């Protein structure tokens, strides 16, 4: 496995451990009560909501979408075959545990659920910087995605819908970009 992939996996592991420790400290379970139909509905709404956000980004911020796709293509070139799914899984699990399970829960207790949703989404966006100024709309996209993920956790009490939607969305984007199937100005990874 290439060095950048190892580093990314290590960082995701650290984020997961910090989030899990924070959730344990707060007494927040990853799934309060399991409701398969509710969680499946939340998963589908999240995943297709992300696709809708992606389409909106394409339509209203085409330069941002194009610059983001270029960055994704370059980054994906360093991902060896088979590592894309590991990265997608690690990032989905770590980010949902850290940003929703821990941060949202903490901020919701301190400032109330609406502020917890907004603040955790803002911090989530700040942790997704882009080095290309043309991709200035990317943090807005990530902020809106963060709101959707936080709302799903707040309403269901389960990290499962967010983890699965986040994984599927990232895996699709990583694999399309890595395999060269990412059409120009048509796909966007958040």
DSSP per-residue string spanning 64-90:
HHHHHHHHHHHHHTTSPTTHHHHHHHH
Q: Is the residue at 143 inside a domain?
A: yes
42 occurs within a structural domain? yes
pLDDT of residue 182: 52
How many helices (H) and strands (E) the chain has is answered by 8, 0
Tokens representing 16 are: 């997961």
Pull the structure tokens for residue 157. 């009490």
Kind plus residue range of the DSSP H or E element containing 28: none
Q: Is the dihedral of CA 124, 127, 131, 133 positive or negative?
A: positive
pLDDT of residue 184: 46
Q: How far apart are CA 144 and CA 159, in angstroms?
A: 18
* pLDDT at position 1: 55
Helix (H, G, I), strand (E, B) or coil at 158: strand
Helix (H, G, I), strand (E, B) or coil at 129: coil
Q: Return the pLDDT at 190.
A: 43
> Is residue 149 one of the residues assigned to a domain?
yes
Residue closest to 152 by CA, chosen among 48, 69, 20, 7: 48
Number of domains in the chain: 1
| pLDDT given at position 188 | 42
Q: Cα(97)–Cα(112) distance, rounded to whole angstroms?
A: 19
Asked if residue 33 is part of any domain, the answer here is no
pLDDT in tens, the chain (190 residues): 577 788 889 999 999 999 999 999 999 999 998 899 999 999 999 999 999 999 999 899 898 888 888 888 777 777 777 788 898 999 999 999 999 999 999 999 999 999 999 999 999 999 988 877 888 888 899 999 999 999 999 999 999 999 999 999 998 888 777 776 655 444 444 4
Structural domain includes residue 32: no
Residue 10 is assigned to a structural domain of this protein:
yes
Name residue 158's beta-bridge partners. 31
Euclidean distance between CA atoms 173 and 154, whole angstroms: 26
With CA atoms as reference, report the closest residue to 101 among 154, 148, 142, 49: 154
Q: Taking the model in full, what pTM does it have?
A: 0.90
CB atoms near residue 162 (< 10 Å): 28
- Say if 138 falls within a structural domain: yes
Question: Whole domain around residue 168: which residue ranges?
Answer: 3-26+38-178
**Domain assignment present for 186:** no
User: How far apart are the C-alpha atoms of 63 and 50, rounded to whole Å?
Assistant: 19
């Amino acid at each position: 496995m290439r060095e950048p992939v190892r580093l990314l996996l290590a960082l995701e592991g650290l984020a997961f451990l910090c989030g899990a420790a924070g959730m344990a400290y707060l007494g927040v379970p990853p799934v309060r009560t399991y409701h398969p139909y509710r969680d499946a509905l939340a998963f589908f709404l999240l995943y297709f909501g992300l696709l809708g956000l992606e389409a909106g980004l394409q339509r209203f911020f085409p330069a941002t979408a194009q610059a983001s796709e270029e960055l994704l293509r370059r980054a994906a070139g360093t991902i060896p075959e088979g590592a894309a799914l590991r990265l997608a899984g690690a990032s989905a699990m770590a980010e949902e545990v850290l940003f929703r399970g821990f941060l949202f829960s903490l901020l919701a207790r301190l400032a109330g659920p609406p502020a917890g949703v907004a603040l955790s989404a803002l911090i989530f966006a700040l942790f997704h910087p882009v080095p290309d100024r043309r991709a200035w709309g990317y943090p807005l996209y990530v902020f809106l995605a963060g709101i959707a993920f936080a709302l799903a956790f707040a309403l269901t009490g389960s990290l499962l819908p967010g983890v699965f939607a986040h994984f599927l969305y990232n895996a699709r984007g990583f694999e399309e970009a890595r395999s060269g199937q990412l059409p120009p100005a048509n796909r966007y990874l958040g």
